[in-house]
Amino acid sequence: MSRGMEKTIGHPMDVLIVAVPQTAGSSLYGMLEVLARAGTMWQALTREDPGEPVFRVRIVSTRKRPFDCGNRIPVRPDTTISENPAAPIVILPELWLGPDDSLRGCHPELIDWIRRRYRAGSAIYSACSGAILLAETGLLDGCQATSHWAYAELFE
């Protein structure tokens, strides 16, 4: 298993999905739905006891009050970085960014929190342009990484 992926048998593994105003709502809620239903979906569809879910998924943001993310999709964070939630998995979903947009200096508290989660042992994952937010943390420095081809200059 990857760093931070050890699961206590019988308990769901905590997963935090980061949401900021630039987050793509489809990516955020698609990940949330898939992970929240992992290990229980088929049982629910066949009317069997679904058992305990594999993951306990929460949305984390810089603020607790609801906001709209990309394409005006509403987000209601479950927790905030100021509450310093712990989880073995932190995911940075796709962002709605133009190829000439920059995240430099946009979310300094979030960037610092992601670094702290990594140092505490969390596995940090990104999807598509979420890699740009991950790159802002410096955790990709000296590593090979990919993102959408249109973000090549921004990613560098």
Domain regions of the chain by residue span? 13-155
Residue 7 pLDDT: 45
**CATH architecture group of domain 13-155:** 3-Layer(aba) Sandwich (3.40)
d(CA 54, CA 13): 6
Strand pairing of 123-126 and 13-18? Answer: unpaired
Segment 37-77, tens digit of pLDDT: 888 777 777 777 767 889 999 999 999 999 999 889 999 99
pTM score, whole prediction: 0.86
Report percent pLDDT > 90 for the chain: 58
